[in-house]
Structure 1
Amino acid sequence: MSLSTSKPPAPRLATPKTAAIAARNAADVQLRGSWSLTFARLRRDPASIGSIAVILLIVAFAIGAPLVAAWTGHGPTEQFRDTGLSPSGIPVGPSAEFLLGADQLGRDVLVRLAYGAQVSLLVGVVASIAASMIGVVVGVVAGFFGGPVDTVLSRITDLVMSVPFLLCAIALVAVLGPSLPLSIAVIVFFSWTGLARVIRGQVMALRHREFVEAARSLGASRTSIMFRDILPNLVVPIIVYTTLMIPSAIVFEATLSFLGLGIVPPTPSWGNMLADAANGSLYLIAWWMVVVPGGALLALTLAFNLLGDGLRDALDPAASKGGKGA
């Protein structure tokens, strides 16, 4: 009886294709695990939870603006000169009829605040997302191709950053007239440059990594490598930077409206509500006209800033806390 002398099959060598597939599968598993850890860290941060609660309350307040108007019986541009103004023409303060007082024309500050929240959130979110998309595309293309492409895009970025914000806004408004789309366009024009620089630097550090070389060996196109292989590794700075751009966009819109360059009255905006309070130093006798929109603007921008900081710490705890992440 003879013993079998057959040898075990030799291990199969990994090909560039299987290596690339394995790397992508491992990245997918790591990404799902990292998101679970991110949410767990975020839940343990009281400042982030508080900021999310404030943002959700203001969003619900803005969405429910028509309900607020129906409940009070006051429209956002409706004037109540008999009940909203005193016999001497001074706005009435907070009362049962006007919970947050009235303005210089007898309009309900509460209702105008709700409709103004719609404008601030719309401008902040839309402008930030649009600016992020432009910044990501410019940064990825500049960092991936390098050379003359990087030089041209970097000089364009420097040129945009050197243009005075208010001077450009005043010039555009003088030619085109103030409007909501123009306000969004101006904010987008001045907001994408910072993210483009951050993404460019990240892409330059990633473009020669092993997974990129594996994708090249498989014959992947440059577009596929940029937006399928490199872009997923930039999720952290994109999310954090976009979140932090929202409060800046909200403040920009309020500034433009305060100066008469943004939302056209009588459409309510937190910026033109503050401008009404500053007109003739009315805030000295009607404090609610500046405290109410100013407090709402402060609360919303502070909440988004705290949320951005919390997301940064949760997404990259090693970098934000000296390697002591959870």
Structure 2
Amino acid sequence: MSLMPKTPAAAARASTEVQARGSGRLTLTRLLRDPASIASMIAILLIIVFALCAPLIAAWTGHGPTEQFRETGLTPEGIPVGPNSEFLFGTDQLGRDVLVRLAYGAQVSILVGVLASIVASVIGIAIGTIAGFSGGVVDTVLSRTMDLVMSVPFLLCAIALVSVLGPSLSLSIAVIVFFSWTGLARVIRGQVLALRHREFVEAARSLGASRTSIMFRDILPNLVVPIIVYTTLMIPAAIVFEATLSFLGLGIVPPTPSWGNMLADAANGSLYLVAWWMVVVPGGALLALTLAFNLLGDGLRDALDPAAVSKGKRA
């Protein structure tokens, strides 16, 4: 083994690699020591597996998500039957299997939540970084654009768009993205404003680095914590947005199942008074998924930035 001393550049690279590995390992250790974070990750994983297994559940039960069982799934009075050996989670007002519809509805909620949050995060990061780093007129225009978007009534805009274009999954995602990116953009803008005059940024400028290089190589790596935490917390908000749109008839088009339109079916004619499972099952799933993502976001924040948590406790 060579005993030759390392060059300064090699030593710096080795130190950086060790620090990166150590930081990631410490973050994972802190996260796994938090019971709430572990429980939330398990809950999210189970719901994702449940959604992916929707076709298998349909094949196992022999019930399609839109298939109606008016003889076995409804009482002689036309009331949905409760949970039993054939319909584990009961049926709805048309005799459809709530379990199967719940699984397919989970696919919609997870798809909309994750996809809309990722797209909104990309837009928010880009606009927030450009606004904070550029300053001046660019910052003013982009900041006023954020204020304008945040001042638009969410439901009024959704109703107007649906009345013109018609409800659809893509429209739901577009509406959620439109109203979600501004929050992260404001956070990123504030962080960039605090970082753009730091010593390492000035050093990069003095070495002739371009503005794009400084933004992507020097500033954005220092924003990983707020980006990860805020994006994680955006997912449950997007899921609730989609459920709200579907509940109001502005989202997923029936008979395609969605947790929102399943709740709307229960509210139609106060059917939930005689068929409690039509509210408890999709409502409980929606609550469990959003709560799990919120707890995971809090756990990630504490694990990635323990110094801020310690300051908060001392305060």
Indicate whether the TM-score tops 0.5: yes
Following superposition, the deviation at residue 177 of structure 1 comes to 0.3
Q: 1:159 to 1:27 in 2, by over 3 A?
A: farther
Whether the 8 Å CA contact 1:318–1:324 is kept in 2: the answer is no
Aligned to 2:49: 60
Residues 217-228 of structure 1: matches in 2 within 5 Å? 217-228=206-217
Whether the 8 Å CA contact 1:63–1:118 is kept in 2: the answer is yes
Runs of 5+ consecutive residues of structure 1 not aligned to the other structure: 1-11
Aligned to 1:8: none
Residues 4-19 of structure 1: matches in 2 within 5 Å? none
Q: Deviations over 1:123-158 (max 9, x none)?
A: 000000101001100111011111111100000000
Query: What secondary structure sits across from 2:255 in the alignment?
Result: coil
Aligned to 2:91: 102
Q: 2:190 aligned with 1:211, yes or no? A: no
Give, in whole Å, the separation in 2 of the partners of 1:316 and 1:57: 27
Aligned partner of 2:197: which letter?
A: H
Q: Deviations over 1:153-197 (max 9, x none)?
A: 000000000000000000000000000000000000000111111
Q: 1:24 to 1:238 in 2, by over 3 A?
A: farther
Query: What secondary structure sits across from 1:83 in the alignment?
Result: coil
Following superposition, the deviation at residue 314 of structure 1 comes to 0.4
Give, in whole Å, the separation in 2 of the partners of 1:110 and 1:226: 48
Q: 2:76 aligned with 1:84, yes or no? A: no
Structure 2 counterpart of 1:303, from 289, 292, 299: 292
TM-score, normalised by the number of residues in structure 2 = 0.94
Give, in whole Å, the separation in 2 of the partners of 1:31 and 1:164: 43
Following superposition, the deviation at residue 221 of structure 1 comes to 1.2
Following superposition, the deviation at residue 213 of structure 1 comes to 1.8
Give, in whole Å, the separation in 2 of the partners of 1:241 and 1:321: 20
Following superposition, the deviation at residue 26 of structure 1 comes to 5.3
Whether the 8 Å CA contact 1:102–1:108 is kept in 2: the answer is yes
Give, in whole Å, the separation in 1 of the partners of 2:309 and 2:279: 36
Give, in whole Å, the separation in 2 of the partners of 1:270 and 1:232: 37
Give, in whole Å, the separation in 2 of the partners of 1:308 and 1:35: 17
Q: 1:22 to 1:221 in 2, by over 3 A?
A: farther
Comparing 202-211 and 72-81, the one that deviates more: 202-211
Following superposition, the deviation at residue 22 of structure 1 comes to 8.2
Give, in whole Å, the separation in 2 of the partners of 1:114 and 1:132: 27
Aligned to 1:130: 119
TM-score, normalised by the number of residues in structure 1 = 0.91
Query: What secondary structure sits across from 1:105 in the alignment?
Result: coil
Give, in whole Å, the separation in 2 of the partners of 1:199 and 1:72: 48
Identity of aligned residues (%): 83
- The structure with the larger Rg is 1
Give, in whole Å, the separation in 1 of the partners of 2:164 and 2:122: 27
Displacement over 4 Å in runs of 4+: 21-29
Q: Deviations over 1:190-227 (max 9, x none)?
A: 00111111101111111112221222222221111101
Following superposition, the deviation at residue 25 of structure 1 comes to 7.0
Alignment RMSD (CA, Å): 1.8
Aligned to 1:282: 271
Q: 2:59 aligned with 1:70, yes or no? A: yes
Q: Deviations over 1:234-281 (max 9, x none)?
A: 000000000000000000000000000000000000000000000000
Q: Deviations over 1:33-55 (max 9, x none)?
A: 21111000001000000000000
Q: 1:156 to 1:29 in 2, by over 3 A?
A: farther
Runs of 5+ consecutive residues of structure 2 not aligned to the other structure: 1-6
Give, in whole Å, the separation in 1 of the partners of 2:299 and 2:16: 24
Aligned to 1:6: none
Aligned to 2:110: 121
Aligned pairs, how many?
A: 308
Whether the 8 Å CA contact 1:317–1:323 is kept in 2: the answer is no
Aligned to 1:5: none
Aligned to 2:4: none
Q: 1:128 to 1:291 in 2, by over 3 A?
A: same
